[in-house]
Amino acid sequence: MLDWFRPNRIRVRRYGKTSSARVYANLRLAEYCSALGAKRVLNVGAKPEAGDKQGRTYEDYFPGADFRTIDLAPFDHPRHREVDVMSPPEDLGEYDLVLCMSMLEHVDRPWLAAPHITRMVRPGGHLFVSMPWFYPVHEGPGFGDHWRATPSAMTFLFDQMEAIRHDYYPSVIKVVHDRKRYWNDPNSTASGFAMLLRRPIS
């Protein structure tokens, strides 16, 4: 019988009040999207005052923009709508930039949501996706935690869009001795990724 090593205490590196994955998602959001000049921004799966867990709201990243949100949960705010992304209404409009900040893993059937999210992006506009990868299961009242994916999976999911760039978040897993010859890609144990896609004009 194997005697598994079980440490009494596992230390998780945190940055202030948030995880390193969130920190890297926020960094990539600012790096990838600040120069896009988006005038209309939609944050999917969030409320208007949604914070980045580092002291700012996501609206703060886009000063002067018409910033709106949609989510399954209702919220009394003029720039928020209660919407199911798997079957949204036809009148949501198009946006210069759509954000999916660590929300696709919570969508029951993302393959149904992806075409609708694509239509929310105006031709020539952009979609920013962040998703955890090696990350704890995080569920809550009214939502589950169903999926993990990679940037290449996003190119299949959003097959009507062009992948512009992506980056992985560093992992807490440094070495896996017995699989080193298989896991020789430094990104193979990443804790998540951020990705920017563009909807073609024609």
pLDDT digits (tens, 9 = 90+) for 112-155: 999 999 999 999 999 999 998 877 667 777 777 878 889 999 99
Nearest Cα to Cα of residue 132 among 160, 105, 99: 105
Least trusted range by pLDDT, from 3-7, 69-73, 167-171: 3-7
Q: What percent of the chain has pLDDT over 90?
A: 60
Phi, psi of 79 (to 5 degrees): -105, 20
Q: Are 119 and 89 in contact, with CB atoms under 8 Å apart? A: no
Q: Are 20 and 170 in contact, with CB atoms under 8 Å apart? A: yes
Mean pLDDT, all residues of the chain? 85
Q: Which domains does the chain have, with CATH numbers?
A: 18-186 (3.40.50.150)
Q: Are 29 and 62 in contact, with CB atoms under 8 Å apart? A: no
pLDDT digits (tens, 9 = 90+) for 5-60: 444 444 444 445 677 888 999 999 999 999 999 999 999 999 988 888 899 999 99
Q: How far apart are CA 66 and CA 103, in angstroms?
A: 21
